[in-house]
Amino acid sequence: MKTRITRACQCSAAFAAAGLLLSACGSSGADGSGQTGATSFEGRGPITFVSGKDTTGTRQPLIDRWNKEHPKEKVTLIQLPSDADTQRQQMIQNAETKSDAYTVLYLDVVWTSEFAAHRWIDPLPGKQFPLDRMLKPVLETAKYRDGLYAVPSSSDGGMLYYRTDLLKKAGITQPPGTWAEMKSACAEVKKLPDAKDMSCYAGQFQKYEGLTVNFSEAVNSAGGTVTDGSGKPDVDTADAKKGLDFLVDSFKDGTIPKEAITYQEEESRQAFQAGKLIFLRNWPYVYSLAGKSEIAGKFAVAPLPGLDGPGSSSLGGHNLALSSFAKNKATALDFMKFYTSEETSRYFLKEAALAPAYAAFYDDKALVEQYPYLPVLKESILRAVPRPRVVQYGDVTASLQQEAYAALTGSKSSAQALKDLQKDLQQKSAAQ
Ligand code: GLC
């Protein structure tokens, strides 16, 4: 993966002073209070909307609706590959060449600082969006130095998908709350003739952003941290090792199948739907797709398990940001309002099980009845741990991926991997 520390900012960063904190460089020009800074939202006409692959098939129909109502301001959907790292690289390439090919970006929540600090995205007029109705931690992901640089579209929280039919058959009445309970549930389920060839558990372990997510979740779910409260790397600890060891040992003892080292979200979803897995860690979008698959009616979700009790998810999701180099920004702003509205959010919840940013959806009785996973999802998002909010995110995630992968594939012991990761993160801090 391409790393970059390059010209993020020509100023001293908190990354150096306090660890992997949000870099305090540049002036934001946005305060989230309705001041738009230097951005002028002018120009109307065609624009593009750039996102990863739409695995849910729900984006184009919504855009078609917009296009019908705005024939002179049509939106073209540009779909990038489904893995987050490639999306990031392509969006950065577009920004570095100051191309106007991309207008509105479907930005992963972990890229806000990097894109804002480089001024690849514009500060936004917060007062024009109903931000006060959104979940607080979700809204935080759209800010850089208190300025608003993006608007939450969908949040994401990891959940444990499990086969209700098999657990029931094996006489297990509750989903597991800990890793040990999950392993013993698997041992029971695998005694059933129709489950004997199944694997117990998988997440996403290919060397990409999903591994950063799964590694961080394991560490956090064992009581460890990647960075401490002030942003300093603090990953070479006994607790973090317990988390990483859960993954390493699970690969060794077959709890996690070997092929899961190649899994991204989609491969792991397909394995679960094909009846190869009893438990799966994945995002809410799987709820909708699995609900239309062979295992429809045979699965449910629970909070992620941890070492001694419930685990914690990494906070995921996507926000809409406006490329600084785009044309027709007046159209773009209107499209962003449309795409992040409550009505659109309801559409994505219903059609694709995407996690709304709006708080009220999670407590709406009728919706909860229809979508029983909403309370688990809300809990997952509110308890979620953000990944480091740093300008040099590409470098940080590359280190996490490298060391976690080395441990999972056995080329390093987990102790060595955590030691090297700590050193690497510290060096990256000092180099700023
Ligand atoms: C999901 C999450 C995103 C995360 C990615 C990792 O798309 O919403 O935040 O970075 O998965 O694969």
Where is average pLDDT lowest: 16-30, 103-117, 124-138? 16-30
Would you say the CB of residue 156 lies under 6 angstroms from ligand 1? yes
User: Tokens standing for 358?
Assistant: 């709006």
Q: Domains in the chain, please, with CATH?
A: 21-156+316-383 (3.40.190.10), 157-314+389-431 (3.40.190.10)
* Residue 316 Cβ contacting ligand 1 at under 6 Å: yes
Question: Mean pLDDT throughout 259-271?
Answer: 98
**13 Cα: distance to centroid of ligand 1 (angstroms):** 26
How far apart CA 134 and CA 240 sit, in angstroms, is 32
Average confidence (pLDDT) over 302-318? 98
| Average pLDDT estimate for 290-310 | 97
Instruction: Give me ligand 1 centre to Cα 256, in Å.
Output: 21
User: Of all atoms in ligand 1, which is nearest to the CA of residue 212?
Assistant: 6
Atom 9 in ligand 1: which residue has the minimum CA distance? 316
- Residue 249: both structure tokens together: 């040992």
Average pLDDT of the residues in 124-140: 98
| pLDDT above 90: residue 176 | yes
Residues in the chain: 432
Give the percent of the chain with pLDDT over 70: 91
150 falls in which pLDDT band (50, 70, 90)? very high
Sorted by sequence, the CB contacts under 8 Å of residue 369 that are 6+ apart come out as none
360 versus 31: the higher-pLDDT residue is 360
Classify 101 as helix, strand or coil.
coil
Q: Which mutation among 213, 282, 289, 396 tests ligand 1's pocket best, with the greatest number of atoms within 8 A of CB?
A: 213
Q: How far apart are CA 107 and CA 56, in angstroms?
A: 17
Whether 142 contacts 150, CB under 8 Å: yes
Q: Integer distance in angstroms from the first to the last C-alpha of the chain? A: 20
CA-proximal residue: ligand 1, atom 7 (nearest): 317
Question: Which residue stretches of 23-146 are H helix?
Answer: 59-69, 84-96, 112-117, 136-140
Q: Which atom of ligand 1 is nearest to the CA of 83?
A: 12
Q: What is the DSSP track for 119-181?
A: T-B----GGGS-GGGB-HHHHHTTEETTEE--EEEEEEE-EEEEEHHHHHHTT--S--SBHHH
Mean pLDDT (the chain) is: 92
Helix axes 393-408, 209-221, angle to 10 degrees: 70
Nearest CA to ligand 1 atom 2: 316
Work out the average pLDDT over 111-131.
97
Q: Confirm or reject: Cβ of 84 under 6 Å from ligand 1.
A: yes
Which is nearest to 423 in space by CA: 220, 206, 415? 415
Query: Alpha-carbon distance 50 to 68, whole Å?
Result: 19
Could you tell me which residue, 316 or 230, shows the higher pLDDT? 316
Q: What tens digit of pLDDT does each residue of 387-426 get?
A: 999 999 999 999 999 999 999 999 999 999 999 999 999 9
User: Is residue 27 scored above 60 in pLDDT?
Assistant: no
Confidence at 11, pLDDT banded by 50, 70, 90: very low
Give burial (CB, 10 Å; 0-12/13-18/19+) of 340.
buried
pLDDT at res. 141: 97
**Distance in angstroms (rounded) separating the CA atoms of residues 422 and 233:** 6
> Does ligand 1 come within 6 angstroms of the Cβ of 217?
no
The two three-digit tokens of residue 252, written as one number: 């060794």
Contact 404, 211 (CB under 8 A): yes
Query: Where residue 38 falls among pLDDT bands split at 50, 70, 90?
Result: low
Q: Is 321 helix (H, G, I), strand (E, B) or coil?
A: strand
Atom of ligand 1 nearest to the CA of 316: 9
pLDDT tens digit sequence for 312-356: 999 999 999 999 999 999 999 999 999 999 999 999 999 999 999
pLDDT at 3 (0 to 100): 35
Question: Closest residue (by CA) to atom 8 of ligand 1?
Answer: 317
φ/ψ of residue 315, rounded to 5:
-80, 120
